[in-house]
């Protein structure tokens, strides 16, 4: 990810720009920039990767719904249907062939956005 790579150079450049007002030696500013860039790369990379992992964490749908059973409230086929779970109504699609009639018990095997993928128990 380019942002993570160039962020350390931006911070090091900003610090060196401030340092250049007080130190008039070009070589000291360049050495400071190089050392600070390497240190920031070592420090910031794990932090940014940690943020990326937290963004990619599961939404909680897997724990709350997948693998649970629910009741069919409207016949389910490959294109339409409704289920009820935890007093909530969800759109559902049958992952197997055929129609699951209303009143049947199903198992939630996955989801796609707000549509539950189900199979008959």
Unique residue bearing structure tokens 């095997």: 109
Q: Residue 92 in contact with residue 115, Cβ under 8 Å?
A: yes
Shared-domain flag, residues 88 and 70: yes
Closest C-alpha to 72, from 100, 111, 50: 100
* Bridge partner list, 116: 92, 111
Shared-domain flag, residues 73 and 51: no
Shared-domain flag, residues 68 and 91: yes
| pLDDT, mean of each 10-residue run, the chain (121 residues) | 78 94 93 94 81 61 86 94 93 93 93 90 88
Residue 9 belongs to domain spanning: 2-55
Shared-domain flag, residues 71 and 114: yes
Domains of the chain: total: 2
Shared-domain flag, residues 28 and 69: no
pLDDT per position as a tens digit, 59-87: 667 778 889 999 999 999 999 999 999 99
Shared-domain flag, residues 30 and 50: yes
Shared-domain flag, residues 45 and 71: no
Q: What is the CATH number of the domain that holds 101?
A: 2.40.50.140
Burial class (CB in 10 A: 0-12, 13-18, 19+), 121: exposed
Residue ending a domain, among 55, 81, 96, is 55
Rounded Cα distance between 57 and 77, Å, is: 31
Rounded Cα distance between 49 and 30, Å, is: 28
For residue 59, the model assigns a pLDDT of 60
Shared-domain flag, residues 67 and 99: yes
For residue 56, the model assigns a pLDDT of 53
Q: What is the pTM of this model?
A: 0.52
């Amino acid at each position: 990810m380019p942002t993570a790579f160039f962020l350390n150079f931006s911070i090091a450049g900003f610090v060196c720009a401030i340092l250049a007002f007080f130190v008039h030696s070009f070589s000291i500013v360049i050495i400071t920039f190089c050392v600070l860039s390497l240190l920031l790369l070592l420090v910031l990379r794990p932090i940014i990767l940690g943020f990326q992992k937290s963004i990619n964490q599961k939404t909680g749908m897997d724990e709350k719904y997948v693998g649970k059973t629910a009741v069919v409230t409207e016949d389910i086929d490959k294109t339409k249907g409704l289920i009820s779970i935890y007093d909530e109504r969800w759109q559902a699609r049958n992952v197997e062939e055929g129609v699951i009639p209303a009143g049947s018990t199903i198992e939630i095997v996955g989801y796609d956005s707000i549509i539950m993928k189900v199979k008959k128990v």
